[in-house]
Structure 1
Amino acid sequence: MKATTIKFSLILSLLVSFVSCQEQEFYEKEFLEGVGVEKPTPNNDDGNTGDVDPNVDPDVDPDPNVDPDPDPDPGICGGGELQNASDTFNQNTGQAQKVDILWVIDNSGSMTEEQQSLASNFDTFIQDFITKEIDFKMAITTTDPRDAHNGNMVGNPDDLTSAAAKADEAKFLNDFSNYVQVGINGYGREKGFQTSASFMTKYPTFVREDALLVVVYLSDEEEQSSGSVSDYLQGFQSLKANAGMFKAFSIVMLPTDTAQNQWETVGSRYIELAEQSGGTASSIQEDFHTVLGDMGGTIVNLLTSFPLSGVPANADITVEVDGTVKEDGWHYDEVTRSIVFDNGHIPDAGSIVIVYYYQCGGS
């Protein structure tokens, strides 16, 4: 983890020398530079950067040991072509499953009710984590990109861990409830991607090498950071050795929701990041008890599955456990893009699991 963090930080720092900029620009560009994004150009009122084009090829294995039949679906990739890909996992059921969760809360003037709903229903989200003794830690930041707030941690992260919950569950729940009500005096142009990227740059030790990384966004307006969704997706995925170990979840206005106020807008970019990462997007207008319960259950299930780094282009997937191809006892979850083993077929601790599949590459 130290080598990965150092390498990531060195790459990120290259962008800083290009231009003198405000603090919020620095953290956003430093994060995006980590995935090879070219230097952006300022174009808006608060000194943030313009859209940029990534130049990152998907990580594929050109010659995996188990090779599905070549080109089974010609034309499925449009102008591109099918490429062999594989992901390797070391089954670790002998240890507690780990997850790092960052909550990104909209602190603009319209969010009082939603913050209160999150605070009062959080127990439905976290209960499975506690009862199943999952090793979790959480942190909170806001969507405010201004210098004094951009990606800053809210509250004491030591209060938001599985150890804290085990020591005093009532205090743990109360601390989260207090911290997550971040107020409504934030900047009116919500930039959750920028602030969550800045958080990762400011607090690199938050991300544990062997933990699932989850970012949860809560907002009633569209995301307004300057980089593209794919830029941020690649940036978050680059923090993990296996890109599938990053998932975004969003509680936002969905296209099917009806705006109750003029400032409520569909969170298209939040939805896109969730879908592209294999997370889920939920309606901010739904009952938070249900939304948070479902979200927590999905994350817990991810901890016992094998998230793929790419998106299979078809159903031709091969699963190998300790050198033996498994014809049954597992299924592919399209929503979370994960291999899930059925009860009675879960690999033993220490097993090597390799998943071979096709994904679409460039033309």
Structure 2
Amino acid sequence: MLTIMASTLTACWDDDNDDPSGSAKTAMIRTEVLAVNDENCATGGVRIIAGYDDNQNAQLDAAEYVSSKYICNNGQQSTDGEGSAIFDQALVGIAFIAKDDVNCPAGGQKIFLGVDKNTNSVLDSDEVTETQILCSDGSLNAPESVINALTASPSTIVTNGNSVLEATITNPSAVDAIVWQDEAGKPLQPRSQNEQNILDLQAGSELGQFTYRVSIEKKDSAGKQVLQTKSVTITVSQAPSATQTVSLESRQVFLPDDFTMSPVTGDITGTVIYGDPKTASVKSLMRMAAIPTPESTELVGFVAERGALNQGTTAAQILQTMVNAVSNNLPSAGDRIDQFSQTILEGGDVSASYNITLISSMLPTNLLQILLQQMAVNQIGGATDTLTPASTEVAAMQFQLDIVVSYLQPTDSLIITATLVDKNNVDLYADVISATTSENISAALGSTLELQADWFRAVEQTTSKADFLFVIDNSGSMSDEQNKLSSMTQSFINTIGASGIDFKVGTITTDTDVLRGVGFTHDASQIETDFIPGTSGSATERGIWFAEKSLDPVNGTVTLAGYPRTGASMSVIIVSDEPSQYGSTPQPFDPSQNLFVDNGYRVYAIVKPGDASRSQYDDLAVATLGKVLNIDQISEYDSFMNTVANNAGATSAGYKLSLAATHQILSSSLSVKVDGVDVPRSTVDGWQYYPLSQSVVFTGAAIPPVGAQIYIAYQYVQTTP
């Protein structure tokens, strides 16, 4: 064993790691043999390259290099100055070889390389991933055969899947043997006698990460001696959930495998999608039905690509124009389309939900025809195929429309995905709708999906902390909203009580920063009292202003009360039926540069839709990754509060996907196991994925026990060059 002092190393999988976020980096090392007269080693030697495996492909790519260490045949050493601290994590040990050694008659050095996985600042024998022998000047040179690289393609595979391990070897020698071993030291057979540098690997059924080694062994009269080793880690994962692809004009959209698709012709580039019915008997009918309108269809929708048609320069602007067009073309004068939720995603994509209320009942396919005509056609007044309803479709008067829109500025075009379902059937299809429209996963044509697997140790979810500040309008105009406040109160108490989060709630009003009642509390009856502040407050509603004042880091009433608590997330929920009157002194409010953004506080607003934009509620929600709800849509309070609670929990108790910050994650492909048992995607006793926090959050009886192994498999988009 070589003892080397080093600082703590963080890694993506550590049995003793209490941080479930997945944000830690994996240090890796690789080597390059240096010839005589190299600019860093005149006598030849080895370059040791260290970096972080940012793209999690189990290889150290050129873009991931952080620093290099040079060890020369004559014993000299040097290190690149910038980033050299990584060698406190990627450890290098040197053992000196005495003179008259069989390989180095003049003596030399044996170099041991590895990563300090157990963070004990010691390079233990089971942490050594590579060895190199360097001989001193004027003696035997470094081994004739050199392993320059060891790769696995792919490095993440499903159970019983296959990977090809290939060692790149220069100057192969007939007297040297290439030996493959698994992490237990069991010999493995290469592909063939002529391709000893290649190992065809088939995984078993066990999930996890497995290390394989290749060595060069020198054969001589003194017996075998290992001259060099390299290792590579293979990740074995459960299969991700099935997905499918819709190819459009310039992009492709990835969807859950829950739809039958039917291309539409006319002035449109896209396809109609029909959700698989949710009962076994209905599914059997569907398999015999004809496209484009399968029998027993309940969930319909479309995917389309079209130009912006001068309707705006952001996804949100263009979506509003499209919704106005739908409203103007509904069958009866009293028909309504009301937005009840909207989220601006990173990158400017917008995900929104609407209630469509009709005077007379209508078949889903007929309503879908109107949506295609007003949202999906690629020219004003364009036409599409006529959709024929199935004989088994059921007419309804209330529907829910969920839609996600991406605006592609370089081409001034849109990618739109939408679903439509009878309001009474929303719960049946909630998971499919969320996986389809909570985010827009599209990529250039030719892009592929790659497999990734993340592992976590479950933490105690009840110790995850989340603090909430409610800012409630207490002006006279709220007299008509008291029943809505009661509904909101009950929705929040029910949701947060079932979340398993250690929560505290404080309440102020739109005319003061003084905390109501006893201040922050988790007592349900006290929260209920605090949420009904009456209607005798000032008619100048300044919700954003007083929220900001209360959270001032020095003199704020919330801050002085000790909130947010250490380790707790902070969510601000503003409830009002009027625009916020922030004022212009000392300066106008800037939604993108303020206390909420600086501290990572998410802001939500339950307000009138028209007031959201006039008072910057929507801009502030966008900037803080929050959300806006229509105060009049009481039926949506439960869903909204569930999002608020779970987003808050995801900040402190969610399991963040390792590639979500750098790649497009196909959330519909997520597959989750806890201690080897499948866990369903469900808001009740299951898990949900939250794109804004890039985290998986467990709910109800599915919350894993402390220490349980959580396996999350998913696909991500690998874009074409």
TM-score bucket (shorter structure): 0.5 to 0.7
1:198 aligns with 2:549: yes
Distance 2:515 2:701 in 1: 42
Query: Equivalent residue for 2:620?
Result: 273
Distance 1:307 1:211 in 2: 16
Distance 1:142 1:268 in 2: 16
Cα–Cα, structure 1 residues 345 and 137, in superposed 2: closer, same or farther, change >3 Å? closer
Please say if residues 542 and 580 of structure 2, whose CA atoms lie closer than 8 Å, have aligned partners that are also in contact: yes
Query: Equivalent residue for 2:15?
Result: none
1:283 aligns with 2:283: no
Please say if residues 104 and 216 of structure 1, whose CA atoms lie closer than 8 Å, have aligned partners that are also in contact: yes
Distance 1:133 1:342 in 2: 8
Q: Could you tell me which of 518, 529, 545 is aligned with 1:175?
A: 529
Distance 2:688 2:605 in 1: 25
Please say if residues 602 and 625 of structure 2, whose CA atoms lie closer than 8 Å, have aligned partners that are also in contact: yes
Please say if residues 621 and 628 of structure 2, whose CA atoms lie closer than 8 Å, have aligned partners that are also in contact: yes
Say which SS state the counterpart of residue 665 (structure 2) adopts.
Answer: coil
Query: Equivalent residue for 1:334?
Result: 691
1:251 aligns with 2:251: no
Distance 2:506 2:699 in 1: 32
Deviation at 1:208, TM superposition (A): 1.0
Distance 1:344 1:121 in 2: 25
Deviation at 1:266, TM superposition (A): 4.5
Counterpart residue type for residue 550 of structure 2 = F
Deviation at 1:101, TM superposition (A): 0.9
Query: Equivalent residue for 2:29?
Result: none
Q: Deviations over 1:4-48 (max 9, x none)?
A: xxxxxxxxxxxxxxxxxxxxxxxxxxxxxxxxxxxxxxxxxxxxx
Query: Equivalent residue for 2:376?
Result: none
Identity of aligned residues (%): 24
Query: Equivalent residue for 1:153?
Result: 515
Deviation at 1:116, TM superposition (A): 4.7
Q: Deviations over 1:270-318 (max 9, x none)?
A: 122223333321102222xx3332222223333255387997673389x
Cα–Cα, structure 1 residues 342 and 173, in superposed 2: closer, same or farther, change >3 Å? closer
Deviation at 1:348, TM superposition (A): 6.4
Say which SS state the counterpart of residue 183 (structure 1) adopts.
Answer: coil
Cα–Cα, structure 1 residues 222 and 96, in superposed 2: closer, same or farther, change >3 Å? same
Say which SS state the counterpart of residue 297 (structure 1) adopts.
Answer: helix
Q: Could you tell me which of 486, 491, 495 is aligned with 1:124?
A: 491
Distance 1:122 1:345 in 2: 26
Query: Equivalent residue for 2:590?
Result: 228
Deviation at 1:339, TM superposition (A): 3.9
Structure with more relative contact order (C-alpha pairs < 8 Å, separation 6 or more): 1
Query: Equivalent residue for 1:306?
Result: 654
Query: Equivalent residue for 2:55?
Result: 67
1:139 aligns with 2:506: yes
Counterpart residue type for residue 275 of structure 1 = V
Q: Could you tell me which of 462, 468, 486 is aligned with 1:101?
A: 468
Deviation at 1:125, TM superposition (A): 1.9
Say which SS state the counterpart of residue 185 (structure 1) adopts.
Answer: coil
After superposition, where does 1:2-41 map in structure 2 within 5 Å? none
Distance 1:228 1:131 in 2: 36
Q: Deviations over 1:111-162 (max 9, x none)?
A: 2222452135412221132345542211112223xxxx3x22233225xx22
Distance 1:90 1:237 in 2: 30
Say which SS state the counterpart of residue 125 (structure 1) adopts.
Answer: helix
Say which SS state the counterpart of residue 664 (structure 2) adopts.
Answer: coil
Say which SS state the counterpart of residue 229 (structure 1) adopts.
Answer: coil
Structure having the higher Rg:
2
Cα–Cα, structure 1 residues 95 and 138, in superposed 2: closer, same or farther, change >3 Å? closer
Deviation at 1:230, TM superposition (A): 1.1
Distance 1:274 1:236 in 2: 10
Say which SS state the counterpart of residue 137 (structure 1) adopts.
Answer: strand
Say which SS state the counterpart of residue 574 (structure 2) adopts.
Answer: strand
Please say if residues 505 and 527 of structure 2, whose CA atoms lie closer than 8 Å, have aligned partners that are also in contact: no
- Using the size of structure 2 for normalisation, the TM-score is 0.29
Distance 1:133 1:340 in 2: 11
Q: Deviations over 1:67-92 (max 9, x none)?
A: 26899x9xx9989xxxxxxxxx9963
Counterpart residue type for residue 273 of structure 1 = L
Query: Equivalent residue for 2:311?
Result: none
Please say if residues 253 and 266 of structure 1, whose CA atoms lie closer than 8 Å, have aligned partners that are also in contact: no
Cα–Cα, structure 1 residues 351 and 223, in superposed 2: closer, same or farther, change >3 Å? farther
Counterpart residue type for residue 665 of structure 2 = A
Which has the larger helix fraction?
Answer: 1
Counterpart residue type for residue 181 of structure 1 = G
Please say if residues 484 and 631 of structure 2, whose CA atoms lie closer than 8 Å, have aligned partners that are also in contact: no
Which has the larger strand fraction?
Answer: 2
Please say if residues 119 and 181 of structure 1, whose CA atoms lie closer than 8 Å, have aligned partners that are also in contact: no
Distance 1:208 1:93 in 2: 17
Deviation at 1:107, TM superposition (A): 3.3
Please say if residues 101 and 216 of structure 1, whose CA atoms lie closer than 8 Å, have aligned partners that are also in contact: yes
Deviation at 1:253, TM superposition (A): 1.8
Q: Deviations over 1:150-181 (max 9, x none)?
A: x22233225xx22x33xxx4xx3552354x33
Distance 1:128 1:342 in 2: 11
Deviation at 1:66, TM superposition (A): 2.8
Distance 1:279 1:265 in 2: 13
Say which SS state the counterpart of residue 551 (structure 2) adopts.
Answer: helix
Deviation at 1:229, TM superposition (A): 0.6
Query: Equivalent residue for 2:576?
Result: 219
Distance 2:615 2:547 in 1: 17
Counterpart residue type for residue 570 of structure 2 = L
- Using the size of structure 1 for normalisation, the TM-score is 0.53
Distance 1:315 1:254 in 2: 31
Please say if residues 220 and 267 of structure 1, whose CA atoms lie closer than 8 Å, have aligned partners that are also in contact: no
Distance 1:107 1:342 in 2: 34
Distance 1:275 1:337 in 2: 16
Say which SS state the counterpart of residue 110 (structure 1) adopts.
Answer: helix
Aligned residues: 256
Distance 1:91 1:177 in 2: 34
Query: Equivalent residue for 2:478?
Result: 111
